[in-house]
Structure 1
Amino acid sequence: MHMAKTGLRALGIAESFRGRERSTLAGVVMRRDGVVDGFGFGEVTVGGVDGTAAVISLFQGLEREDINCVLLSGCVIAWYNIIDPDVVSRATGLPVVVVTYEDSDGLEDDIAAHFPGDAERMEAYSRLGPRVPLRLGTGYTVYLRSAGIETADAGRVVDAFTRDGKIPEPLRVARLAARAAMQYTYRQR
């Protein structure tokens, strides 16, 4: 990946849900220079196990060959619906960088409390492995998991797409789009 290239494109994916059965995913294709040149949408089941498939489907639905990497705003979404970044990377052929914003001791206790006996969900969470802290050029710290890319390169990607604060622009815009789409859908029902 050529980090200096202004045409470097990331697909940022974020979600929004309001305690319903389905959560809205939004994907934003953004160039490194901040130009947005694509949107995609999808849904996942709240408390389900379809997060990985939904991310792959959103990517495939875009029918784009110019995307250089996938950025995910977390990989435990929609009430413990776990996205496997390794599977997404293999299915898309792209590096995947998962960004989270708060330090924590993990979610094992929460998963066990909400999904007692769900060994598959617990194993999916365990496979994610640890997060790596990254101090951004903006001065904020974020936490990364990555697949198909070295951690140092993942950090450079996140830093390149973060203008201010701690949220990379493709993820910030994707979160806004997911929230707007969710609110629109919620009003229509």
Structure 2
Amino acid sequence: MAGPGAAGQHDTWVQGHHLRVTRRISHVAGFDDAPFPRAHRGDVLVVGTVFAGTRLEGVISTRVRRDGINATERLVRSLVESRFFPQLQAILLQGIAFAGFNVVDLDALQRQAGLPVLVVARHPPDLAAIRRALLEHVPGGRRKWRLIEAAGPMEHIAGVQVQRQGLDPEGARILIEALQIHGKLPEPLRAAHLIAGGIAAGESRHRP
């Protein structure tokens, strides 16, 4: 496993151009949403943790609409308006959708933030069930399904499932392994999960 904050050379995409970037990825933001009741309508808390290597540097937050369309815009705003943004080098998301089916446009997030984006999940998603739910029950579901398709298939990298935007497989592996401190889930996502759950429910209840 790589040392704290150790990510090697990688390719990245900046404003649609393929650039070779040689640097260590050490400053990362990881986002997860808070739990909410099944009957809830309205906004849902999303927590972002900012790490410098393996050290928690700060916490940012935003709110996105349940089954809405504003997740991408809210994530970008929370990042670029944060005092941590000038040092950030990558974004991690626990899943491609927040607050139910508020699907993130990975390409837009990467372009607007100018940072590589990794979606990380413990297990492969049930795409057939997701497609059926989107097309049959969610307003704007066809557009949301196209965003999921555009993100590409999940890949098995470093023991987790990953979708990549702006980072090659080797760069993704090195980054994830450097942040796997207490299990397979990268620490920024584990911490975001714990904090979001603690705020919403009074304590963190589910395994991160």
- Relative to the length of structure 1, the TM-score reads 0.85
Contact 2:32–2:196 (8 Å) recurs in 1: yes
Residue 186 of structure 2 is matched in structure 1 by 168
Structure 1 position 181 matched with structure 2 position 204: no
Runs of 4+ with >4 A deviation: 4-7
State the Cα RMSD in Å.
2.2
Question: SS in structure 2 opposite 1:65?
Answer: helix
Contact 2:7–2:25 (8 Å) recurs in 1: no
Contact 1:40–1:61 (8 Å) recurs in 2: no
Contact 1:51–1:83 (8 Å) recurs in 2: yes
Contact 2:6–2:24 (8 Å) recurs in 1: no
Deviation at 1:164, TM superposition (A): 3.0
Contact 2:25–2:89 (8 Å) recurs in 1: no
The one-letter code matched in structure 1 to 2:68 is G
Equivalent-residue separation in structure 2 for 1:157 and 1:6 (angstroms): 9
Residue 116 of structure 2 is matched in structure 1 by 95
Residue 65 of structure 2 is matched in structure 1 by 45
Deviation at 1:6, TM superposition (A): 8.3
- Unaligned runs of 5+ residues in structure 1 are 185-189
CA distances 1:93-136 after superposition (whole Å, capped 9, x unpaired): 111111011123412122123227732222222212211112x3
Residue 125 of structure 2 is matched in structure 1 by 104
Deviation at 1:56, TM superposition (A): 0.6
Question: SS in structure 2 opposite 1:62?
Answer: coil
The one-letter code matched in structure 2 to 1:152 is E
Question: SS in structure 1 opposite 2:87?
Answer: coil
**% identical equivalent positions:** 23
Task: Identify if the C-alpha distance between structure 1 residues 112 and 66 changes in structure 2 by more than 3 Å, giving closer, same or farther.
Answer: same
- Number of residues paired by the alignment? 178
Residue 132 of structure 1 is matched in structure 2 by 155
Residue 187 of structure 1 is matched in structure 2 by none
Contact 2:76–2:109 (8 Å) recurs in 1: yes
Contact 1:12–1:71 (8 Å) recurs in 2: yes
Structure 1 position 16 matched with structure 2 position 20: no
Residue 55 of structure 2 is matched in structure 1 by 35
- Relative to the length of structure 2, the TM-score reads 0.78
CA distances 1:60-85 after superposition (whole Å, capped 9, x unpaired): 12132111111111112211110112
Residue 16 of structure 2 is matched in structure 1 by none
- Unaligned runs of 5+ residues in structure 2 are 9-22, 203-208
Contact 2:96–2:148 (8 Å) recurs in 1: no
Question: SS in structure 1 opposite 2:86?
Answer: coil
